[in-house]
């Protein structure tokens, strides 16, 4: 699997090529479509990598948050704030 930097450079190159083809008057329409599809696939791959990286970062931060919350719960005393006065909770 390619990394994010190499995909970004490939996308930049493919975008430049696609734009050059679009500006040509005698460009083959099938070649333009193939270039467009390849560019879409590259962008999709980059998005998947970015989502995977974001998911891994989120998982590690959520694990840290869970540990922090658990520690806070262990430090916090459980106190009932409800008091019964004349049969009514205040």
Predicted confidence (pLDDT) at residue 1 exceeds the cutoff of 60:
no
| 3-class secondary structure, 85 | strand
Residue-wise pLDDT tens digits, 20-69: 999 998 989 999 999 999 999 999 999 998 888 887 767 667 777 888 88
Give the model's pLDDT for residue 60: 66
> CA of 19: how far to CAs of 24, 33, 56, 78, in Å?
9, 12, 35, 65
Domain extents for the chain? Answer: 4-89
pLDDT at position 54 is: 80
- The distance between the two most distant Cα atoms of the chain, rounded to a whole number of Å, is 92
CB atoms closer than 10 angstroms to residue 14: 18
| pLDDT for res 52 | 86
Higher-pLDDT residue of 52, 14: 14
- Which of the four pLDDT bands, split at 50, 70 and 90, describes residue 10? very high
End-to-end Cα distance, the chain: 62
pTM of the model: 0.59
């Amino acid at each position: 699997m390619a990394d994010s930097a190499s995909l970004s450079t490939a996308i930049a190159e493919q975008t430049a090529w696609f734009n050059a083809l679009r500006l040509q008057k005698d460009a083959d329409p099938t070649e333009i479509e193939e270039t467009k599809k390849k560019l879409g696939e590259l962008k999709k791959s980059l998005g998947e990598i970015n989502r995977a990286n974001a998911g891994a970062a989120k998982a590690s931060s959520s694990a840290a948050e869970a540990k922090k919350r658990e520690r806070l719960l262990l430090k916090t005393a459980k106190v009932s704030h409800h008091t019964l006065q004349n049969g009514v909770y205040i």
